[in-house]
Amino acid sequence: MQNYFVGIDLGTGSTKAVAVDLNGKTIATAQSYYPTNNPKPGHSEQNPEIIWQAFVNCISKIHTNLNQAPTAISFSSAMHSIIPVNENGNALADAMLWSDSRSGDIAQSIRQSAQGEDIYQHTGTAIYAMSPLCKLIWLRENSGELFNSAHKFISVKEYVWFKLFGVFEVDYSIASAMGLFDILELKWYDKACALAGVDVSRLSTPVNTNHKRYVASADILPGIDTQTAFIIGASDGCCANLGGNAVRSGVGALTIGTSGAVRVGSKVPVYNYDAMTFNYLLNAHTFICGGAVNNGGAAVNWLLKDFLKLEQVIDETYKYLFKAIDTVKPGSDGLVFLPYLYGERAPVWDAKSSGAFVNINYKHQQQHFLRAALEGICFALNDVLNAVETPDQPIEEIVISGGFISSPTWVQLLADITGKKLVLLQSDDASAIGAIYLAMEALDVDIKEIMNNEAAGRVVIEPNVEAHATYSKIFPIYKKLYSDLKLSMHQLHSLNN
């Protein structure tokens, strides 16, 4: 019998499972995709039942491949989702996802209020439309009957956890991303809950990220037995830092998936109210601090499917994209792209911001727009990096993860814009690997040797000095463009909503 651990990453576009043996070697993977619904402008929703089915499918595929039950299953999950459910855990409406921006005006009002900074200092969560705090207020004000009838308000991971065990529990990590949880006292923050209009009884019981349970019957899930330990795990960002061995001083982590984020590990929160840096919990004693952007892979998908009108996006499509980009020199001959297609989080925090190509002239061809788009995504992440990095906590290297790592062109472009050494430790999903590490620790498996082995096999990408010099001249212009265009963006947003 082979002991193995499974990390589950409940993502926005798919659920992924990674299975590793006791030496940390990947022995099987599975992935199941699902759509996001956008019924109205600013609305971003998913049926939680399809996420549960995706999880079941992934576990089934792993079991079919390995033909035995895992030692443990641990969870990573996207943050900021809210699902109103009844006492039986059944969803009363689709999940509002992190990308749902309908509560943008509510967030802006809270940020400008006297209590805004107090809530931020206690909860560590940026006050923005993605915050469940703001989503709950929107539901209360716009769907009062639904709001009042809900027994609990839970996240996607809590939905899956309840299906497995029939209890409402939330890990510290997901809770710390809700804008309702006191990250120092490790309990729901009364003032934030009062503002949202929810009693703590309508929220799940907070537990540490190493919390574990066992199913009462093997019939609940195919391919597991009652000896399989389930560890509740953490959020995808926090797990990615752990999975990438990026909780050490001087090391940052950067992920580009549907969205993107820059994160550093810290023993204390790193507060920045202007830039709204986040402070999420990896466990009861470790904070993952940083900032997230809305427009990572989502902006690339727009570029391919909507801008280029490509009906089918396959591997050859991406090869075409990056081959075209390689024909254009750094800086795209002066063409600059603001990638705020879905509004933006850090550091501008503006749900009404929008994308823009600036300085278009007759010389610019399709390949210039393609390169400028990727440069814009990387500029946005560099903007966050500057907000997170401090003189007391300089970032010397960045561990990278996410789908973009499969493109050497995109990775090199990021290195050139940030001017930082990038480190690629492994090609598997860092969030799922981080969830596995939490499971191993929960079951008293020493992960130091596994992490050291990962570090020994790392790939380092150095920035090109000449390209970095070019981007260093463009970046201040990029930053100023948002403030120059902000009023026009808001006026146009009002006309179209």
The contacts of residue 282 (CB under 8 Å, 6+ apart) are 173, 209, 234, 238, 239, 241, 242, 247, 265, 288
Average the pLDDT over each of 201-205, 283-287, 421-425 and give the range with the smallest value: 421-425
Residue 205 has a CB neighbour count (10 Å cut-off) of 12
**Residue 429 in this model has a pLDDT that exceeds 90:** no
Residue 1 pLDDT more than 70? no
Q: Is the confidence at residue 187, as pLDDT, over 90?
A: yes
**Residue 427 clears pLDDT 60, i.e. is over it:** no
The reported pLDDT for the residue numbered 349 is 85
Model pLDDT for residues 38-67, shown as the tens digit of each residue: 999 899 999 999 999 999 999 999 999 999
Q: Tokens in use for 345?
A: 């989080």
Tokens of 166: 């029939």
pLDDT at 363: 95
The model's pLDDT over 452-494, given as tens digits with 9 standing for 90+, comes to 777 667 899 999 999 999 999 999 999 999 999 999 999 999 9
Q: Is 7 helix (H, G, I), strand (E, B) or coil?
A: strand
Give the pTM.
0.85
Which region among 129-138, 237-246, 332-341 has the lowest average model confidence (pLDDT)?
Answer: 237-246
State mean pLDDT over 279-297.
94
- Inter-CA distances, 35 with 50, 116, 249, Å: 9, 34, 38
> Which whole number is the average pLDDT over 27-48?
95
How far are the Cα atoms of 70, 185, 227, 438, 445 from residue 21, in angstroms, in the given order? 10, 36, 17, 14, 12
Output the pLDDT for position 405.
86
Longest Cα separation, the chain: 67
The pLDDT mean for the chain works out to 93
- pLDDT beyond 80 at 410: yes
